[in-house]
Amino acid sequence: MPQLDAVLETALYVDDLDRAMRFYAGVLELKPLYQDSRMCAFSVGGRSVLLIFPRGGSLETVRMPGGTIPPHDGSGPLHIAFAIPKHALAEWEARLREHDIAIEGRTAWKRGGESIYFRDPDGHLLELATPGLWAIY
């Protein structure tokens, strides 16, 4: 069977692309890789890409010189967990407080990891998780 190596991209769908870009670049300090009127892409740890699309803005096939991208979309509050080192958890909590972002939940995992949960401006549930959450992390 062929192997899958990692999740390369994941996508969120938002009501206001500019507002989302400000949040992810400003609060989470993700590095923008690409943006146009249809979407933006952020580097996450130099290993994966977070794509942000306006809701309903990707319902048509995109044709490019190299091929096509089929339609896609999403609705409702989605969930993404970002990996962080254990020593950075307190810094992240302080950063969220500085930006008046409420921490909605906390979990201490049986393998030793910790998670905190908060929302982006579109209501997506974001998680910052330290090692020990999963057997592979």
State pTM to two decimals. Answer: 0.94
- Which among 115, 110, 36, 106 is positioned nearest to 80, based on CA atoms? 115
Confidence of residue 33 (pLDDT cuts 50, 70, 90): very high
What fold is seen in the domain 77-137? 2,3-Dihydroxybiphenyl 1,2-Dioxygenase; domain 1 (3.10.180)
pLDDT recorded at residue 58: 95
pLDDT recorded at residue 136: 93
pLDDT recorded at residue 73: 96
The 10 Å CB-count burial string (b at 16+, else e) for 110-129 is eeebbbbbbebebebebbbb
Q: Which residue has the tokens 């010189």?
A: 65
Average pLDDT over residues 127-136: 96
Segment 57-116, tens digit of pLDDT? 999 999 999 999 999 999 999 999 999 999 999 999 999 999 999 999 999 999 999 999
Average pLDDT over residues 37-64: 96
Domains 1-55 and 77-137 agree in fold: yes
Helix (H) or strand (E) holding 76: none
Say how far apart CA 9 and CA 6 lie, in whole Å.
9
Segment 102-129, tens digit of pLDDT? 999 999 999 999 999 999 999 999 999 9
Helix (H) or strand (E) holding 129: strand 125-129
Domain 1-55, architecture per CATH: Roll (3.10)
- The structural domains of the chain, with segments of one domain joined by +, span 1-55, 77-137
Confidence of residue 23 (pLDDT cuts 50, 70, 90): very high
Q: Which residue has the tokens 């769908």?
A: 13
